Amino acid sequence: MPKLITLLLSLLLIALPKPEIPDSKRAGDVRAKVWPKLQKELKDRGFKTHSSIYIRIIKDISMLEVWVQSGKKYELFKSYDVCSYSGGLGTKTRNGDGKSPEGFYTIEPKQLNPVSNYYLAINVGYPNKVEQLKGYTGNAIMVHGHCASIGCYAMTDARIEEIYTLVYEAFTTGQKQIRVDIFPFRMDNARLKLYSAYYPNQVYFWRTLKPGYDLFEEQQIPVEYHIKGNNYAF
């Protein structure tokens, strides 16, 4: 009987529909060009070519990091310069404010746009649950190509080719969600004190982000948050 149950469960998992990943000739051509190079880079660094990934953006240094799972933890694979984001430090709160968001986001396959007007694009999922509770407005906040931004993170076409392909390939081998965490700066105490002097209205909000940042720095595993009131809690 246990063997029969195991067999039935296996058949059920096979039969479950896999999430459809949006695709296009443009995205396919990009993969054909950059995926062999990325596979070699992954292997040379000791990573498996199809592993779960995690994305972190640090605004003040205009940096997007791609981390790859290795064992139970994640290791930094590549860092990409962000070509442009708008509004400086401080998070987005309303449609049309020209700000780029800060917080903890999740992307799923349906958030890929392989036919974007900005070449290739990934919707970060703003507003998230916390932002919805706060009544924040706006949508279609992307990590995309080109080098122009009104609330998005523009990477240039060459950089988004690699980032988009890494995300796509992670989805093809079973990663259901990819975390995208966006911080104003590396949130050690010294930087928090420094930037708080220039952005006093952001201090309380940034302090709600810091525990999540610290947990990842300590554990090297993307953190899960819950909601306490209408703020992040860990």
Whether residue 83 contacts residue 159, with contact meaning beta carbons closer than 8 Å, is answered with yes
Instruction: Extract the tokens encoding 234.
Output: 């860990």
**Hey, what amino acid is at 29?**
D
**Hey, what amino acid is at 112?**
L
Residue closest to 105 by CA, chosen among 209, 195, 219, 228: 209
What gap in Å lies between CA 20 and CA 165, rounded to an integer?
Answer: 16
What residues are labeled active site? 144, 152
What gap in Å lies between CA 131 and CA 231, rounded to an integer?
Answer: 9
